[in-house]
Structure 1
Amino acid sequence: MSPTRRQIVVGIAGAASAGFASRPAAAQALTGAHAFGFDKPDGRRIPLADYLGRPILVVNTATRCGYAGQMATLEQLWQRYQTRGLMLVAVPSNDFGGQEPLDGAAIAEAARQSYGATYTFAEKTVVRGPEAHPFYRWAAAEKPADTPRWNFHKYLIGRDGALLGGFSAATDPLSPQLVQAIGRELAAG
């Protein structure tokens, strides 16, 4: 008998939080996207649980991608909505066309210098396939039709940690579709 989608998601979330055994039981019980976090280039962590009650936009990025100009429009989105509660996490990835040759803090620095990016950058991360980060495996199980097919795929996470939707690389960060989805989630609080 094969496992249900829920059993797979619960298993992935459990595996992702296994390294946090010293955390309080309440923190271990987090569900949805809040059960995950990303490593930062400086060795610290970005626990998505820190943004419980806030919408989160997770975007896989690459500095040498044809869509890299979206880092500037992501900055505009960030400047417009950060004070209203939006969290933006850039997740650099080399999964598509080898378009992220940089490593560590050099990625965020290149994005800052070229595009004015001031939002949070994770460490370079695998976002597809069997070696994908647990967040991306969870998102793929939640919305199989909305998985990253290229750099600059955007996932919008609701205040409660639910995956509200995926937006393709071709979706501009300031597109009405994405801005309205963020606005609805900000207004819901």
Structure 2
Amino acid sequence: MPTTVASMPLRTLDGEPTTLSDLGPGPYLVVNVASRCGLTPQYRQLEEIAGHYRERGLTVIGVPCNQFGGQEPGSAEEIATFCSTTYGVTFPMLEKADVNGAQRHPLYEVLAAATDDAGEAGDIQWNFEKFLVDGSGSVAKRFRPRTTPDDPAVTGAIESLLR
């Protein structure tokens, strides 16, 4: 059994096996995403953050999820096309996954146990909840959906983990 989320078995959007460590050295900003959500424009900020911090080690990782209002109904190919053509997404995307409930992905079992700044852990509230994971695979910060990727709290937390 992996000891951290960095070594946990995952699958890319196109079905290839991977781990967070395979995708980059860390830290990682893991975000459950959706194409038909009021918060979908956060893709633009996520791509900006990914580009700005990539050379310093940050990897933004999108995890499509259809659990909130059916806002990510597409196939892997449809999701990939939407992300690249609408927002120019170049950061890695994982396969569509449940983030809550009985079929919750093991990655989100660990992430959901992390507390936010108010000390609250538990279920993911909605699309675009963000988790900053350090290079060793420990959850460093949790940001709720309405906290934008370019919010100073997010960028400050990222800066504190960069090499």
Task: Provide the TM-score with structure 1 as the length reference.
Answer: 0.78
Aligned partners of 1:170 and 1:151: how far apart in 2? 9
Measured against aligned partners, the alpha-carbon deviations of 1:148-187 in whole angstroms (never above 9, x if no partner) come to 200000010011111112101101100000000000000x
Structure 2 match to 1:123:
95
Letter in 1 for 2:100: R
Structure 1 match to 2:42:
70
Letter in 2 for 1:155: F
Structure 1 match to 2:145:
169
Alpha carbons 1:94, 1:124 under 8 Å: kept = yes
Alignment identity in percent? 36
Deviating more after overlay: 172-181 vs 53-62: 53-62
Measured against aligned partners, the alpha-carbon deviations of 1:18-39 in whole angstroms (never above 9, x if no partner) come to xxxxxxxxxxxx5221231321
Measured against aligned partners, the alpha-carbon deviations of 1:43-81 in whole angstroms (never above 9, x if no partner) come to 212312325742011100000000000001101001100
Aligned partners of 1:146 and 1:57: how far apart in 2? 18
Aligned partners of 1:146 and 1:181: how far apart in 2? 21
Alpha carbons 1:91, 1:123 under 8 Å: kept = yes
Unaligned runs of 5+ in 2: none
Aligned partners of 2:24 and 2:95: how far apart in 1? 21
Measured against aligned partners, the alpha-carbon deviations of 1:77-111 in whole angstroms (never above 9, x if no partner) come to 01100111001110000011110011112202101
Alpha carbons 1:32, 1:163 under 8 Å: kept = no
CA 1:52/1:147 → structure 2, altered by over 3 Å: closer, same or farther?
A: farther
Alpha carbons 1:88, 1:119 under 8 Å: kept = yes
Aligned partners of 1:37 and 1:106: how far apart in 2? 24
Report the structure, 1 or 2, having the larger helix content: 1
Unaligned runs of 5+ in 1: 1-13, 15-29
Structure 1 stretches of 4+ moved >4 Å: none
Alpha carbons 2:6, 2:135 under 8 Å: kept = no
Deviating more after overlay: 60-69 vs 121-130: 121-130
Alpha carbons 1:41, 1:123 under 8 Å: kept = yes
Specify the structure having the higher radius of gyration (Cα).
1
CA RMSD of aligned residues (A): 1.7
Alpha carbons 2:24, 2:57 under 8 Å: kept = no
Aligned partners of 2:59 and 2:78: how far apart in 1? 22
Structure 1 match to 2:111:
139
CA 1:159/1:41 → structure 2, altered by over 3 Å: closer, same or farther?
A: closer
Structure 1 match to 2:155:
179
Post-superposition offset of 1:142: 4.0
Report the secondary structure of 1:81's partner residue.
helix
Task: Provide the TM-score with structure 2 as the length reference.
Answer: 0.90
Query: Residues 106-121 of structure 1: matches in 2 within 5 Å?
Result: 106-121=78-93
